[in-house]
Structure 1
Amino acid sequence: MRSKLFVPGTRPELFAKALGSAADGICLDLEDAVSEPRKDEARDTVRQLLLQGGEATASGKTLIVRVNAMDTPHFAHDVAATVQPGVHLINLPKPESPAHVRAAVEAIERAEQANGVRTPVGLLLNIESPAALRTASQLALAHPRVVGLQLGLGDLFEPLGIARREPAAIQQAMFAVRMAAGEAGIYAYDCAFADIRDAEGFRAEAMLSRNLGFLGKTCIHPSQIAIANEVFRPTDEEIAHACKVVEAARDADANGVGAYVVDGKMIDIPFVIRARAIVASARSLGLLPG
């Protein structure tokens, strides 16, 4: 999921366009993009889209619903309405403890049973408060349903008076989230970039998160999708080198060799793990034969 496009739940006229876009994932938003008086409307609109199934399912995209936080009166209703067949992930904002995560999973399980959902729905947790950043690894390990951590720099920085585009702060927050996700064996996902006009700023932040091992970046406008897809696509050079490493690893395993050289670089298990991930990504994008 190199790119994930946010779509407000109150904008059904955008649903078809988003589903037909080049984004790898679509996040139907019931939280920040929806004003308080329109929460019920947004929930019902998204539910109708999901119940129709066809267009959303046929898109082949990762389908995500961002529900409202657990300390709001909307959370339980959001989950009950939108955990439907075809939904892959619930994006949970502002989890503050492992108990929060487990309670969210219980709500999702109840909705799955009520709505006839047979494929378990995963959790993408937003890391957007000091407490969540400090305990990110505990949140990530709270339940097997957690598949990723998503950084939320606006919510994290603005209340603390930290400049949203301060490079040192961004890098530290990204690194902390990536390490927490790595400890749990799940992915880290990058946040939104609010200045739609600043394509180069979006690209630079996406490159930073890619270099820190993030899976992809959130988009709030269709113009950002192509940049995210390009940045998070393995380069031809990376793919070629990874293929060589994977092939060399097979030969080394067959011959009982622990470390070896590929393209002048010493290779052992950590490099093989990364190479296999690059090859798998390239195959999923149709850049290599299956």
Structure 2
Amino acid sequence: MISSLLYVPGNAPRFLEKAGQRGADAVIVDLEDAVPEAAKTEARNGLAKWVPEIKQAGGQVFVRVNHSDRLVEDAVAATLAGADGLYVPKVNSPDVLVRLAESLEGYETDRSPIAFVPLIEDMQGLFEVRAIAKGPRVIALACGGEDLATAMDAKPTPEVLRYPKLMIHYAAKEAGVLSLGLLRTIADFADKEALRAAALEARDFGFDGASCIHPSVVPILNECFAPSSEEISWAQKVVAANEQEAAAGRGAFMLNGKFVDAPIVTRAQNLLARFEKGRATS
């Protein structure tokens, strides 16, 4: 269960040393866009220090690697540092993930294979997203909204990003992996009410969590992607009533004036399972 992921520049010690204390389910140490070219090698070398330190706080640590000729070296450094997964930018084919997985096998003798989160950031990736979602080691899909808008020669407005982000979301759900993101860009974090509305909207659509670039957004994501007390109470009542009705030979019934049948019961069961999993990992 990953409700919140906090991006932290890989060359910013003053942010990295506090990253694990921000309450995010996962920290993404960024070696790509947040780090200027001249500092990328130093940031990569710093993974050996920062990944274990951040993990001591109890959350997961991902590393966003570079898409360029730095890709494999970044990925190897993240693997050896003990990162849980890689955010792989600009993935436009599952072949990229296959080659990356093959490159890492010799470095994983003392650990389980590192997971992949492909970032869909161009048109080719968007139209190959179903295949990418079923690629090796994929545990989640995400969209780089700013990059995707740029690839379309468009502005990153919610209207522009909504449909492509939903395409990526549907591909994740079909493949049974996590769907991470909001139906808007995460670059504008100043309007907290707009972010809260976007997070609630994303959860209504079935997104599992989202990333952010400022720690002030983490509590909003944690709150919005977690089941509310009212939702938990509703789910408990549905499951309990279903057991009674099933014992009486009824598969559909009325509860508090509302019709309940198998899909609604399943949704209630899934919500409770998510809640219990969240409690177990908190």
Q: Could you state the TM-score of these two structures normalised by the residue count of structure 2?
A: 0.89
Question: Which residue pairs with 2:74 in the alignment?
Answer: 78
Question: Which residue pairs with 2:213 in the alignment?
Answer: 220
Question: Which residue pairs with 2:273 in the alignment?
Answer: 280
CA contact (8 A) 2:199 2:224 kept: yes
SS at match of 1:146: coil
Aligned Cα RMSD in Å?
Answer: 2.2
More off after superposition, 94-103 vs 243-252: 243-252
Give, in angstroms, the shift of residue 128 of structure 1.
1.4
Q: Could you say if the C-alpha distance between residues 254 and 67 of structure 1 is closer, same or farther in structure 2, counting changes exceeding 3 Å?
A: farther
Q: Which of 232, 237, 242 is equivalent to 1:239?
A: 232
Question: What is the identity, as a one-letter code, of the residue corresponding to 1:66?
Answer: R
Alpha-carbon separation, structure 1, partners of 2:8 and 2:144: 17
Alpha-carbon separation, structure 2, partners of 1:162 and 1:251: 54
* 1:157-236 to 2 correspondences below 5 Å: 157-167=149-159, 169-190=160-181, 193-236=186-229
Question: Which residue pairs with 1:135 in the alignment?
Answer: 128
More off after superposition, 267-276 vs 213-222: 267-276
Give, in angstroms, the shift of residue 246 of structure 1.
2.8
Matched, 1:107 2:98: no
Which aligned runs of 4 or more in structure 1 are off by greater than 6 angstroms?
Answer: none
Q: Could you state the TM-score of these two structures normalised by the residue count of structure 1?
A: 0.87
Unaligned stretches of 5+ in structure 1?
A: none
Q: Could you say if the C-alpha distance between residues 137 and 77 of structure 1 is closer, same or farther in structure 2, counting changes exceeding 3 Å?
A: same
CA contact (8 A) 1:203 1:228 kept: yes
Give, in angstroms, the shift of residue 279 of structure 1.
1.0
Give, in angstroms, the shift of residue 82 of structure 1.
1.0
Give, in angstroms, the shift of residue 30 of structure 1.
0.8
Matched, 1:43 2:35: no
Give, in angstroms, the shift of residue 29 of structure 1.
0.7
CA offset digits 1:249-273 (Å, max 9, x no partner): 4445556543334443333343333
Alpha-carbon separation, structure 1, partners of 2:3 and 2:205: 14
Aligned length: 278
Question: Which residue pairs with 2:90 in the alignment?
Answer: 94
